[in-house]
Each structure stands twice: as C-alpha cells, then as structure tokens.
C-alpha cells in the first residue's frame, strides 16, 4: 500500500514516515498543496493523509479539487484544526476520515487500515482469504493448516496488496508501484523474487501467473 | 418631549393655527374697510344729491326741493338719515322722526367720517361735509345704519371660523399622516436594528432617506467591525491552537521513540503532561472562540448544517445509527452562530455515539425556544453522577466519569446563550443517557414593546 503523506511540518514527517513504513506502507511525502494535488492525481496512491494548513494551497482546496475531478483517493485529514465545523467542512469536502492533532500514531495506523478495508470492501479485523489470514499488527500470515509465518516487510506489503485486490490481474509494474516509494529503485524482477517467496509459504496455487498480464491472487482455492 | 412625532405635530399645529387667526383677523378687517369705503362713496353721492336740490329763497332761507329726496330718507328709522344745517336753519330727514343726531359743529371745508349712535341704538356711519353755495355755508351730514354690515361681518366671522376649524382638522390629520410616512424609514431602521440584534440580518438596508444614510452607514460599519474583530480573534485563536498543537504532536510522537522504551516512568509522565496541556489548550481556546449572543457571523441552518453534521457523525461512527426528528415550524435558520451550534451539537452527539451500543436519537423542537434532546442506548450514568452533572453551578470538567471535554464545552456554549443543559436517564431505551438542551429564542416583539 502506497500512501501520500501531505504535511508541511518536517519534524512530524521525520517521526511519522518511518513509523508508517515499519507498518508496511510505502510513503511519499509532499510539503505543499500544489505538489500534493498533482501527486494525488497520479493514481498510484492507495490513500492520502492530508494536513489542512498547507503552504501554497490549503488542504481543503486540494481535497475539493481532487473530488471535483473525480479522484476518489481515500483521504484521512490530519489536522490541528479539529473544531466541529472544520470537521464537518472536511467531510463535506470529501474526506473519508478525520483525525485531530495531537494524535497517537497507533490510532492513525488503525484508521488507515480500517479505511483501506472499507474502501476494498473487506471486513474490519484480520484480512482473510479462503484458508489464510493476515495479521497486520504482527505482519504475519496464518494458514488454516496451523502454520504461522512471520513476513518480511516487503512480503507483507505484497501480500496485503494481493489480499485487498483478490482475483484481479495485477501487473508487476502495478505491484511495484504500490509496494515501493517514489524514489526507490524499481526493478520488476524483485517482485518476481517476492512472489516466489510468498508461494513458498502459501502454496503454489495461491498466486497464479498470467502471461503478459502479471499475477492473480486467488481468494478461493478449488 | 422626546418624541419627534409629538414635537413635529405640536409645531405644525401651532403654526397652522397662527396662520388661520391672522388670516381671520386680516380678512374681517379688510372686508369692513372695503364695505365702509363703498358705503361712504354712496353717502358722498347722496350728500352731493342733496346739495344739488338745495336752494335759497330771497330772504336767504334755505329750501330743499322734496322731489330730490330719495324715499328711503322719508321712511321713519329706515337707517338712512340726513341733517342739513345752514345758519340757523336745521333740516332733518323725515326718517329721523323725532330724534336727532348729536354731531360736532364743523368749521373747516372738509369731509369727515364719524361713527355715531343713531336712533334705536343704530350704529351709524356719518359723512359730514361742508359746502359753500351762493355764499352760504351749508353743512350736510348723511348717515347710514351699519347694523346690516356688522351682522354680515359677524356672519363672515362665524363661517370663516367654521371653515377654518374644518380645514385645520383636515390639515392636522394630513400632517399626522405626513409625519407617519416621513418617519417610516426610522421605524423600519429600528425594526432592522432589532433584527440585526436577533441575528436575522447582517446589515441595515441602505435604501433610506439621505438624512438617515450616515446613521445607517455608521451602524453597518460598526457591525462589520465587530464581526471582523470576532472573526479575526477566532482566526488568531485558531492559529494559536494550530501553532501549539504542532509541537505537541511532535512531543507525543517523540514519546513513542525507541530510546524511551526502557524509561516507562518518564514516558508515562510525558504522556500525561502533554495530554494535560492539550486538554487545557482545547478547553480554553474553544471557550474563547465561542461567539455567543449578538449578531452571528453566519447562522446555523437546519437545512444545510444539521444534515452535514449528522453525515459527518455517521461517517465517524459507521456502525451506529443516528436517528433524528425535527419539529420545526418556520425556523429554517436559528439565530445562533454556526460554529457554536456545530460545536454544541457535535460534542453532545459525538459523546452519545461514543457510548451508544447501536442507536442515538436526536430530537430538535423549535417553537418559542429551541429544545434539543439527545439520547443513546449506552450504559448511562448512575443516579449520583447524574445529580452531580445536572446540579447548577457544577463545572463539568474532563474528569467527570469519562464524559470528556466535549460536555464541558457544550455547557459553556449553552451558558453563553443563557440556556440550560440537563442530564437524565433515558426513557426511550433500557438505560443510557438523555441530554436536554433548552436555548431561549429572542423575539422581535420583546423589543418593540418599548415605545
């Protein structure tokens, strides 16, 4: 899952970014409204965390512009302005969630996960597919056979993306876009390596290779 | 005398009355002058007529040719009389009968007008002229009764007075109407000021007479300055809150730092202190930001703001159902500040949602006052704490049984609007909290009664 963190407070970003990455999110940061609006329209982000008091263009305006151009990227507003009328204005502008500062990073992460589940029509709690469940806290996968595997960060990111997009062909390009940051060295061969590692743990049939299309994660094993 | 209407009325009444009295006096005087003038001309003719018929016999005795005498001088007390006097002879008209006129003796050759009491108390105008004819001095006095004239003049007085009174009454009615119409912009302005205070409008109309323009302009300037100042101080407070929260956020994040994992005491202390600072900032700033009574910057709209707020809460608590019912007659807008109402309702309903198991009920009833009731099906509060919450003067602080800062802010807002806030156990569900808010509505009629 790739997040766009839009926040002009450098100190906060320095603290928050590693925290989010540790929880298996690829994070790109934008410090001003104009750049943020442009990046948000790139369609490579699964979610945006938006501060309202931004230089150049206010967060509300950025959000309104996205929604006006039918950009439905899930947005969590993260702001010190948490009066009720501001909260209402935020939701009216098209926000999906709203968190007042100061906040605990656990709460932000919980809300990100809840929002991602909601957007991808997955129930709250563990991410499940036929025969396996993914614990996002522990970054571990548990199979119905009883085996539990702790995943590396990249494996976790990849599996979560598969779980949120089951039964859809996903290209290597797309996978790497949603697993890595903007400035990371993207080599699609690396995806192959990680898919192979996941297959070793989950079984060969779970992730199907489709020639020319990429991979399909199968929610049901027949 | 404070009423402009009364002052104008009395001024106009006095000046119109003065004009009428003057007109009345001048009118009767000039009519009398005119008639007397005409009468004396006629008398002069009569006098000259008499002179033409006077002759002297050889003995120098004066003789009057009876054919030259108008019959009016023959009828007794007809009101027309003459006395001719020459030497020792004194000829009196037959109309004088047995009475005489007391006339002063005249020396100079002049015509004189006299007012003399005649027979039967007739007021007479006498024209006395001295002529020289054939070397003899003749004094001819011709008189006419003024009774008719006096009667006509008093009739004129009577009718003029009557008409004048009628016209005066009409004019008074007219001026009452004119003053009322003339002052109507003042009434309108006053009405608008009342509305301004009640928050039904943002400024006075500029569509007023030029005399009122500066006043309206000043009031509008004042109102907009107050509004701007409130907005500015709100913005400043918002900025301050923002500025303080950023370092607080960083501090809260620092708390999670791995370096502190071994120092649990310090971490707990830091966490406690930062959250304490945050609560204090929240409480003080939110209270300071309340607009309270007076012209609101923007009014709370039941049609737009309430659904938006409920929509927000529904998104925040997707698992809970918020049912609302509105009993509102014609109050699309309530004269309360939008931000204040959002904060009040937001906090109360948010609190209810937090504690509710499934359902929150919101009832808004606006008639003479605003009544808001929020109920939830949560665990509720026990009797003791309820009494404490409802007790007058008890401050709801953040430590009260977990019903956080929100309720304390709600209480501040209610107090700003001179309303009341009470907590009971709900009857709608098995248990749960019921919050009742009463906010008085100010009516225009309250102010317009002070005439």
- 3-class DSSP string for B85-124: EECCEEEECHHHCCCCCCCCCCCCCCEEEEEEECHHHCEE
Q: Is B299 on the interface with A (CB under 8 A)?
A: no
Q: Give the one of B245, B316, B345 whose C-beta lies nearest to A80's C-beta.
A: B245
Q: Give the one of B250, B312, B342 whose C-beta lies nearest to A12's C-beta.
A: B250
Find out whether the peptide bond into B232 is cis, omega within 30 degrees of 0.
no
Pairwise CB contact (< 8 Å): B346 & A16? no
For residues B6 and B311, the model is more confident at B311
The shortest C-alpha distance from B327 to chain A (Å) reads 23
In chain A, how many H helices and how many E strands? 8, 12
DSSP notation for B202-252: SS--S-S-TTTHHHHHHHHHHHHHHHHHHHHHHHHHHHHHHHHHHHHHHHH
* Domain A127-217 of CATH type 1.10.10.10: yes
Average pLDDT over chain B, rounded to an integer? 81
Average pLDDT over chain A, rounded to an integer? 86
Instruction: Find the mean pLDDT for residues B61-77.
Output: 82
Distance CA B280, CA B291 (A): 19
The pair of structure tokens assigned to B112 is 């004189």
- Which residues are B131's β-sheet partners? B138
Side-chain-side CA neighbours of B296 within 13 Å: the count stands at 21
Handedness of CA B194, B196, B201, B207 (dihedral sign): positive
Least confident of B134-138, B213-217, B378-382, B384-388: B384-388
Q: At A158, phi and psi to the nearest 5?
A: -65, -45
* Residue carrying the six token digits 């709460």: A107
Q: Give the one of A12, A105, A118 whose C-beta lies nearest to B256's C-beta.
A: A105
Q: Is B2 on the interface with A (CB under 8 A)?
A: no
How many Å is the Cα radius of gyration of chain B?
50
Pairwise CB contact (< 8 Å): A97 & B251? no
Percentages helix, strand, coil for chain B (3-state, rounded to 5) are 55, 20, 25
Q: How confident is the model at residue B400 (pLDDT cuts 50, 70, 90)?
A: very low
User: In the β-sheet with A127-129, what is the strand arrangement from edge to edge?
Assistant: A127-129, A132-135, A140-143, A148-150
Name the pairing type of β-strands B136-145 and B80-86.
Answer: antiparallel
In Å, how far are A74, A103, A141, A180, B229 from A20, measured between CA atoms? 16, 14, 19, 13, 42
Interface test with A, best of B245, B251, B322 (most A CBs within 10 A): B245
- Which residues are A28's β-sheet partners? A4
Q: How confident is the model at residue A38 (pLDDT cuts 50, 70, 90)?
A: very high
Q: Give the one of A19, A84, A91 whose C-beta lies nearest to B343's C-beta.
A: A84
Q: Is B351 on the interface with A (CB under 8 A)?
A: no
* Residue carrying the six token digits 């909260």: A87
The whole-number pLDDT of residue A62 equals 93
The pair of structure tokens assigned to B425 is 């156990």
Of the CATH numbers 3.40.50.2300, 2.60.40.10, 3.30.56.10, 3.10.105.10, which one belongs to the domain with range A2-119? 3.40.50.2300
Least confident of B54-58, B275-279, B404-408: B404-408
Instruction: Find the mean pLDDT for residues A180-198.
Output: 76
Q: Is B85 on the interface with A (CB under 8 A)?
A: no
- Give the whole-number percent of chain B exceeding pLDDT 70: 89
**B268: burial class by Cβ within 10 Å (0-12, 13-18, 19+)?**
exposed
Pairwise CB contact (< 8 Å): B245 & A85? no
| 3-class DSSP state of B27 | helix
Q: Give the one of B249, B257, B312 whose C-beta lies nearest to A88's C-beta.
A: B312
Fold agreement between A2-119 and A127-217: no
Residue pair B309/A88 in contact (Cβ under 8 Å)? The answer is yes
Pairwise CB contact (< 8 Å): A88 & B339? no
The whole-number pLDDT of residue B107 equals 66
CA A126 to chain centre: 15
For residues B110 and A185, the model is more confident at B110
Of B252, B263, B78, B188, the C-alpha closest to A12 is B252
- Give the whole-number percent of chain B exceeding pLDDT 90: 4
Residue pair A202/A156 in contact (Cβ under 8 Å)? The answer is no
Instruction: Find the mean pLDDT for residues B12-30.
Output: 87
Q: How confident is the model at residue A112 (pLDDT cuts 50, 70, 90)?
A: very high
* Residue carrying the six token digits 């929150």: B360
Instruction: Find the mean pLDDT for residues B408-418.
Output: 82
Distance CA B194, CA B448 (A): 8
In this structure, what DSSP letter does residue A222 have? -
Residues near A124 by beta carbon (within 8 Å), at least 6 away in sequence: A114, A117, A118
Q: How do the domains of chain A map onto residue ranges?
A: 2-119, 127-217
In this structure, what DSSP letter does residue A171 have? -
The whole-number pLDDT of residue B109 equals 67
The shortest C-alpha distance from B316 to chain A (Å) reads 7
The pair of structure tokens assigned to A119 is 């957007």
Residue pair B394/B355 in contact (Cβ under 8 Å)? The answer is no
Q: How confident is the model at residue B397 (pLDDT cuts 50, 70, 90)?
A: very low
For residues B445 and A130, the model is more confident at A130
The shortest C-alpha distance from B300 to chain A (Å) reads 11
Handedness of CA A51, A55, A60, A61 (dihedral sign): negative
Pairwise CB contact (< 8 Å): B250 & A105? no
Q: Which residues of A2-19 are buried (b: 16+ CB within 10 A; e: fewer)?
A: bbbbbbbbeebbebbbeb
The whole-number pLDDT of residue A48 equals 94
Residue pair B58/B72 in contact (Cβ under 8 Å)? The answer is no
Q: How many CB atoms lie within 10 A of CB B7?
A: 12
DSSP notation for B137-206: EEEEEEEEE-HHHHHHHHHHHHHHHHHHHHHHHHHHHHHHHHHHHHHHHHHHHHHHHHHHHHTS-SS--S
């Amino acid at each position: 899952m790739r997040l766009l963190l839009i926040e002009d407070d450098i100190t906060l970003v320095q603290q928050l970014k590693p925290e989010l990455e540790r929880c298996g999110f690829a994070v790109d940061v934008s410090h001003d409204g104009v750049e943020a609006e442009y990046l948000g329209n790139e369609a490579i982000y699964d979610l945006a965390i938006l501060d309202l008091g931004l230089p150049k263009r206010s967060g509300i305006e950025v959000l309104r512009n996205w929604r006006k151009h039918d950009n439905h990227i899930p947005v969590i507003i993260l702001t010190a302005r948490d009066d009720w009328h501001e909260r209402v204005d935020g939701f009216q502008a098209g926000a999906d969630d709203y968190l007042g500062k100061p906040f605990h990073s656990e709460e932000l992460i919980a809300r990100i996960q809840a929002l991602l589940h909601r957007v991808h029509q997955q129930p709250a709690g563990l991410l499940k597919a036929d025969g396996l469940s993914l614990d996002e806290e522990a970054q571990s996968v548990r199979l119905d056979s009883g085996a539990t595997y702790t995943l590396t960060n990249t494996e976790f990111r990849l599996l979560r993306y598969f779980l949120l997009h089951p039964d859809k062909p996903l290209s290597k390009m797309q996978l790497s876009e949603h697993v890595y940051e903007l400035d990371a060295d993207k080599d699609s061969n690396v995806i192959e390596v990680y898919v192979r590692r996941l297959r070793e743990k989950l079984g060969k049939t779970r992730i199907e290779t489709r020639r020319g299309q990429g991979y399909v994660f199968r929610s049901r094993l027949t | 005398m404070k009423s402009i209407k009364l002052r104008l009325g009395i001024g106009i009444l006095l000046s119109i009355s003065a004009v009428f009295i003057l007109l009345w006096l001048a009118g009767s005087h000039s009519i009398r002058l005119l008639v007397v003038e005409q009468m004396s001309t006629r008398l002069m003719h009569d006098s000259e007529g008499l002179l033409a018929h006077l002759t002297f016999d050889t003995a120098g005795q004066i003789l009057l040719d009876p054919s030259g005498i108008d019959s009016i001088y023959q009828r007794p007390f007809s009101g027309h009389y003459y006395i001719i006097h020459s030497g020792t002879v004194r000829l009196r008209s037959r109309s004088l009968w047995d009475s005489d006129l007391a006339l002063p003796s005249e020396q100079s050759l002049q015509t004189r007008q006299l007012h003399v009491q005649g027979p039967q108390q007739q007021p007479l105008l006498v024209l006395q002229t001295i002529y020289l004819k054939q070397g003899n001095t003749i004094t001819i006095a011709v008189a006419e009764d003024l009774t008719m004239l006096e009667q006509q003049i008093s009739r004129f007085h009577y009718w003029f007075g009557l008409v004048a009174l009628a016209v005066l009454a009409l004019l008074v009615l007219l001026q009452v109407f004119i003053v009322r119409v003339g002052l109507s912009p003042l009434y309108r302005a006053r009405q608008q000021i009342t509305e301004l205070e009640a928050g039904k409008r943002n400024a006075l109309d500029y569509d007023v007479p030029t005399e009122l323009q500066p006043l309206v302009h000043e009031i509008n300037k004042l109102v907009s300055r107050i509004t701007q100042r409130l907005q500015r101080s709100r913005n400043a407070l918002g900025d301050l809150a923002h500025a303080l929260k950023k370092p607080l956020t960083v501090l809260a994040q620092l708390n999670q730092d791995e370096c502190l994992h071994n120092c649990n005491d310090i971490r707990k202390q830091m966490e406690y202190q930062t959250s304490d600072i945050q609560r204090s900032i929240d409480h003080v700033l939110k209270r300071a930001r309340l607009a309270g009574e007076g012209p609101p910057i923007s009014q709370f709209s039941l049609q737009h703001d309430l659904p938006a707020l409920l929509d927000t809460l529904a998104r925040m608590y997707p698992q809970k159902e918020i049912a609302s019912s509105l009993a509102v007659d014609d109050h699309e807008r309530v004269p309360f500040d939008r931000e204040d109402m959002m904060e009040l309702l937001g906090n109360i309903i948010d609190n209810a949602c937090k504690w509710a198991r499934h359902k929150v009920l919101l009832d808004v009833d606006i008639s003479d006052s605003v009544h808001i009731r929020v109920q939830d099906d949560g665990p509720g509060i026990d009797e003791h704490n309820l009494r404490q919450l409802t007790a007058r003067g008890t401050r709801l602080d953040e430590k009260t049984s977990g019903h956080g800062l929100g309720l304390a802010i709600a209480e501040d807002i209610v107090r700003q609007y001179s309303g009341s806030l009470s907590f009971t156990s709900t009857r709608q569900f098995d248990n749960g909290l019921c919050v009742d808010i009463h906010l008085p509505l100010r009516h225009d009629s309250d102010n317009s009664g002070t005439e």
